[in-house]
Amino acid sequence: MAAKMSLDSFDKKILDCLQDNSDMVLAEIARRVGLSTTPCWRRINRLQEEGIIRARVALLNRKAVNAGVTVFVAVRTAQHTAPWLARFAKAVASFPEVIDCYRMSGEIDYLIRLALPDIEAYDAFYKSLIAKVELSDVTSMFAMEEIKSTTRLPLSYLP
């Protein structure tokens, strides 16, 4: 978990650069930020050590890897115990097609986002999930069109 650390304008610019392209070479980041390479490198290392930067990854083209169908799965359960939650979390974590899973407030207990090739893959996921953990209600919604999808976090809220 990221510690509460103070970020200045250089740090924010570094984070902005890395959100654009995590493979950007250090010299280019330093140039854009207005620092020499050594202080820029130290700041990036500190941001990683403090947990502000969780990971540096490659974002794949979902269609190119045959995972172009997005499914949102709304889950309700009558079980609200720690052992059930542990089983549910373990089950969800075991599926590579699960991109996100959130515990929700309101009428839905959990919301899961999947990346799949087709409806048959969803059916297999559904059958495997209900075999692993007891659920009260499952509602699935297939995305028809992706309007916006990003991994970029807003930096304007930083103090």
Sign (positive or negative) of CA dihedral 55, 87, 110, 118: positive
C-beta separation of 98 from 75 below 8 A: no
Residue of 61, 25, 67 lying closest to 44 (CA atoms): 25
The dihedrals phi and psi of 129, each to the nearest 5 degrees, come to -65, -50
Angstrom distance (rounded) from CA 117 to CA 114: 10
Torsion angle of the four alpha carbons 116, 120, 124, 126, in this order, in degrees rounded to the nearest 10? 80
Q: Can you give the pLDDT at residue 121?
A: 98
C-beta separation of 67 from 116 below 8 A: yes
The Cβ of residue 143 has, within 10 Å, a number of other Cβ atoms equal to 14
Indicate the number of domains in the chain. Answer: 2
Same domain, 81 and 41: no
Half-sphere exposure of 112 (CA within 13 A, CB side): 23
Same domain, 74 and 136: yes
**pLDDT tens track, the chain, 159 positions:** 445 678 999 999 999 999 999 999 999 999 999 999 999 999 999 999 999 999 999 999 999 999 999 999 999 999 999 999 999 999 999 999 999 999 999 999 999 999 999 999 999 999 999 999 999 999 999 999 999 999 999 999 998
The Cβ of residue 67 has, within 10 Å, a number of other Cβ atoms equal to 19
Give the CATH number for residue 39. Answer: 1.10.10.10
> Domain residues for 26?
9-49
Give the CATH number for residue 96. Answer: 3.30.70.920
Considering the domain boundaries, does residue 156 fall inside one?
A: no
Strand, helix or coil for residue 113: strand
Query: Which helix (H) or strand (E) covers residue 139, if one does?
Result: strand 137-142
What is the reported pTM? 0.89
Angstrom distance (rounded) from CA 98 to CA 114: 5
Q: Can you give the pLDDT at residue 5?
A: 75
Q: Can you give the pLDDT at residue 1?
A: 46
Residue of 123, 151, 154, 158 lying closest to 57 (CA atoms): 151
